[in-house]
């Protein structure tokens, strides 16, 4: 399955310039998503949809991934129109994963599990959500919330849809996942800070573990 990362927004809530290339522990945000996708067996080609609002994102991705990731120039200003344009420009006529650039804790295991859920769902499209209590547990107050069968859920920024029918609204299923990694979208400075803390904790834990195993 190919993947398209949407990366042409204004980043206005974060207010640090082009959000996809804002650095998190020395690495651009979008690189966390690209690296996770590159390490996922079931993912084929990776595309990044930039816009006139994100020129640096395009050049950084091109330099860093040396032709392995294709940059698509969209018009900007309309997320859905840009997504349709990108799927067509990439000539994808099969199911395609559309992701946000701001989910840095995403990892290959989660991506594989999401693809497996899609393959078993029997519906053309699937959207991934986090229950609101997972976001609240992280101290995040999401500004987009849906009501699903009486539960409040928040879009995780990962969708799969059928590329050959991208211009039409497709029936979709909601995949609700409790993983913290999917609940942490970076929209604000507070979320960026929270993510820094979580990544530092993970790296401290693994340092402690390797110390224990070498002792």
Binding site for ligand GTP (CB under 6 A): 6-13, 19-20, 49, 51, 74, 76-79, 82, 100-102, 187
Q: Could you tell which of ligand GTP, Mg ion, none binds residue 77, using a CB distance below 5 to 8 A set by kind?
A: ligand GTP
Strands 95-100 and 146-148: unpaired
The site map against Mg ion for 7-36 (x = CB under 5 A) is --x---------------------------
117 CB-near residues (< 8 Å, 6+ apart): 126, 175
Q: Does 157 bind Mg ion (CB under 5 A)?
A: no
- Residues 162-181, buried b or exposed e (16+ Cβ, 10 A)? bbeebeeeeeeeebbbebeb
Least separation in angstroms between CB 6 and Mg ion:
10
**What's the CA gap between 213 and 67, in Å, rounded?**
39
- Size of interface with Mg ion, in residues (CB under 5 A): 1
- State the CB neighbour count (10 A cutoff) for residue 5: 28
- Helix 29-38 vs helix 55-65: crossing angle, to nearest 10: 40
Least distance in angstroms from the C-beta of 11 to ligand GTP: 4
Query: To the nearest whole angstrom, how small is the minimum distance from the Cβ of residue 13 to ligand GTP?
Result: 3
Q: Which does 100 bind (CB under 5 to 8 A by kind): Mg ion, ligand GTP, none?
A: ligand GTP
How many CB atoms sit inside 10 A of residue 23's CB?
Answer: 11
- Which CB, 74 or 127, lies closer to ligand GTP? 74
Helix (H, G, I), strand (E, B) or coil at 118: helix
CB of 205 to ligand GTP, least distance (A): 28
Q: Which residues bind Mg ion (CB under 5 A)?
A: 9
């Amino acid at each position: 399955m190919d993947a398209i990362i949407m990366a042409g927004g204004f980043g206005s809530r974060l207010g640090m310039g082009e959000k996809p290339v804002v650095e998190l522990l020395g690495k651009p945000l979008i690189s966390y998503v690209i690296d996770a996708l590159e390490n996922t067996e079931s993912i084929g080609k990776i595309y990044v949809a930039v816009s006139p609002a994100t020129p640096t994102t395009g050049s950084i991705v091109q330099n860093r991934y040396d032709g392995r990731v294709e940059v698509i120039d969209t018009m900007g200003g309309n997320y859905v129109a840009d997504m349709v344009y990108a799927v067509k420009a990439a000539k994808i006529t099969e199911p395609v994963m559309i992701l946000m650039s701001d989910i840095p804790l995403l990892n290959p295991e989660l991506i594989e599990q999401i693809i497996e859920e899609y393959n078993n769902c029997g519906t053309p499209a699937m959207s991934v959500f986090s229950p609101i209590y997972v976001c609240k547990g992280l101290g995040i107050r999401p500004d987009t919330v849906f009501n699903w069968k009486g539960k409040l859920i928040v879009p995780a920024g990962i969708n799969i849809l059928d590329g050959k029918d991208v211009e039409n609204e497709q029936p979709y299923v909601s995949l609700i996942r409790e993983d913290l990694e999917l609940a942490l979208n970076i929209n604000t400075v507070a979320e960026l800070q929270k993510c820094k803390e979580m990544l530092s904790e993970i790296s401290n834990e693994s340092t402690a573990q390797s110390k224990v195993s070498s002792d």
